Amino acid sequence: MKVSIQETPSHLPRSEAFAGGRKVPSLKTKEDRVDVVFIYPKTGIDLGATIGPPHALLSVAAPLLKKGFKVKIVDQRTDAHWRETLSGMLAQRPICVALTSMTGTQIYFALEAAKLVREVSNGKIPIVWGGAHPSSLPEQTLKSEYVDVVCIGEGDITFLELVQVLANKEPLDQVKGIVFKDGVKMTMTPGRPLLDVETLLPVPWELVDVEKYIHRDFYLKETRRSLDIGQTSRGCPFQCGFCSSAALRHRQWRPMSVKRSLEMILEPVKRFHLDGIWIRDDEFYIDRERAYEICQGIIDSGVKIKWYTSGTRVNIFNMATDKDLDILKRSGADTLKFGAESGSNRILKLMKKGIRCEDTIEANLKAKRHGIIPVFALMIGFPTETFEDIDKTIDLFVRLKKDNPKAQFEIIGTFTAMPQTPLYEVALQHGLHPPQSLEGWIDWLSDEYDMEGKKIPWFNASERKKIGNITYMSLLANSSLNAIGGVSNNAMRLLLKLFISPLSRYEGYKLRRKLYGFSPELDFMRFLRRKVFYRRNQSIH
């Protein structure tokens, strides 16, 4: 017997009750209707160029639009009045509300929104979660009273089918790739194969105010109108033990054709008058011939842009010929981001990175010769890592900057064990005690000092404090200046630079000399970061 919405507890709705008898919408219905509401939660650091378009939601929304559903996106990062915006949309009784979340602070803000949905709708509108964290721990995520369904992995097809089933009041178990509550029971359906990226629809930019995501870029400092335009490929074939993206996409790299890739790149460049773009592929240069055909296509189009991608392997870059790099630069890619990860070959082997420190040094020198600015990412705090290994990473940091003064760095991050990654299993063997609830993961990424020993228990309290200091020193020594580069207001950028530059030089000096012990100024910066960037309005219960 089917159960009506009124008979279902608000915190544990049944699949049959979700839609309230709604049918698949007709294009003849009222223009002000809202069928699906997407929410992109804050991340904790949401200023200027850190705010990119909610690509995961845009991608999942595109098939819904094609089928005639009316879709709205609420972005907490760009809408100071998101509660009022969301409440107004909920008054239209949408089929469901969907949220995405990474592991960490974003969970808090997602729960804040989900709680509002529960209260405003009296539990009558189902709440669907997707994204990296729910996909990694779907059953644990579903245990939260603010979660009704979890979409596991890529949601482009899964979510469309889920919305259709909810709208037609049909059983949810016919949808592949979800886990859902059915009364007191949890049901997980069979997994869904990875999709063919060539079938992806164009980005529905009309769903967002694109101007809110156009910035002066961190790394493309000559630009004034830079935009994160999305991906031309999905996945990565490599085995880096810390990477949740590779694990969730089964280490498969799926590229769009050169033609589709160029359409995706050039359309927003021309439409929004961009002079800089970020292509957020995990690995852009896997197929070198494809990569350079795309570069040649950009050149042939006549557009003048600067661009960079998320992932470049140093060993692949080292195989590039002078001709390859000439095409790369002429297309506008004079900045490349590299995952150097560690200055210890032993730790690189532990994480199965597939490179050596010598490869990173070679790539840095090659980039210098060709006038390409490299941006390196480094990490410390791995299981079995010693301070001798950590010092080698700092030495690599110093060496790269000495060899190439134009080299840039992201923060020397503290290793965080992410579910479903190989190093997560290693971390468990070395004493990691992961959170046992969705709420428990909120602080998993925001506390580099790991005061309670939750993230890196293989180090004692004193060692964890030093590791936290190294992370903050690297932030202030380099990353903070990059962040200032993303400030559009010239006067504000100058003032911030005057304030930060002396502190940056001081922290760089301490890092080079390995003076990462007593650092009261870093305690203040940590306090400021948590109070300003990770500030929360209420507790989630």
One domain, residues 45 and 124: yes
Alpha-carbon distance of 41 to 347, in angstroms, equals 34
* Per-residue confidence (pLDDT) for residue 247, from 0 to 100: 59
One domain, residues 400 and 463: yes
Give the end of a domain, one of 318, 344, 374. Answer: 318
In a domain, 243, yes or no: yes
> In which residue are the tokens 């709205």 written?
72
One domain, residues 52 and 172: yes
In a domain, 81, yes or no: yes
For residues 149 and 162, the answer to whether their CB atoms sit within 8 Å is yes
In a domain, 16, yes or no: yes
* Per-residue confidence (pLDDT) for residue 12, from 0 to 100: 38
Give the end of a domain, one of 134, 163, 188. Answer: 188
Which of 534, 406, 380 has the alpha carbon at shortest distance from 472?
Answer: 380
One domain, residues 245 and 374: no
One domain, residues 267 and 182: no
Domain CATH code at residue 365: 3.30.750.200
Which residues form the domain of 451?
A: 334-536
Alpha-carbon distance of 186 to 45, in angstroms, equals 34
Give the end of a domain, one of 292, 318, 344. Answer: 318
Query: Cα separations (Å) of 212 from 215, 228, 266, 392, 533?
Result: 8, 12, 20, 41, 19
Alpha-carbon distance of 408 to 132, in angstroms, equals 28
> Which helix (H) or strand (E) covers residue 230, if one does?
strand 226-230
Angle between helices 357-369 and 387-403 (to 10 degrees): 10
Show pLDDT as tens, one digit a residue, over the chain (541 residues): 232 222 333 333 434 444 444 444 444 345 578 999 999 999 987 877 789 999 999 999 999 999 999 999 999 999 999 999 999 999 999 999 999 999 999 999 999 999 999 999 999 999 999 999 999 999 999 999 999 999 999 999 999 999 999 999 999 999 999 999 987 899 999 999 999 999 999 999 999 999 999 998 878 878 899 999 999 999 999 989 998 876 577 789 999 999 999 999 999 999 999 999 999 999 999 999 999 999 999 999 999 999 999 889 999 999 999 999 999 999 999 899 999 999 999 999 999 999 999 999 999 999 999 999 999 999 999 999 999 999 999 999 999 999 999 999 888 999 999 998 999 999 999 999 999 999 999 988 766 567 678 899 999 999 998 998 898 888 888 755 565 555 556 666 666 667 777 878 888 888 888 988 878 888 777 777 666 655 665 556 5
One domain, residues 108 and 13: yes
One domain, residues 174 and 261: no
Q: How many domains does the chain have?
A: 3
For the chain, percent helix, then strand, then coil, each to nearest 5? 45, 15, 45
End-to-end CA gap in the chain = 32
Domain CATH code at residue 263: 3.30.750
* Per-residue confidence (pLDDT) for residue 2, from 0 to 100: 31
* Per-residue confidence (pLDDT) for residue 11, from 0 to 100: 39
In a domain, 164, yes or no: yes
Question: pTM to 2 decimals?
Answer: 0.89
One domain, residues 474 and 360: yes
Helices (H) and strands (E) in the chain, counts: 19, 15
One domain, residues 307 and 183: no
Q: How many CB atoms lie within 10 A of CB 535?
A: 10
One domain, residues 44 and 89: yes
Domain CATH code at residue 59: 3.40.50.2300
In a domain, 326, yes or no: no
One domain, residues 306 and 265: yes
Give bridge partners of residue 97 from the DSSP assignment: 37, 127
One domain, residues 347 and 462: yes
In a domain, 481, yes or no: yes
Stated length of the chain: 541
In a domain, 377, yes or no: yes
In a domain, 93, yes or no: yes
Alpha-carbon distance of 353 to 70, in angstroms, equals 44
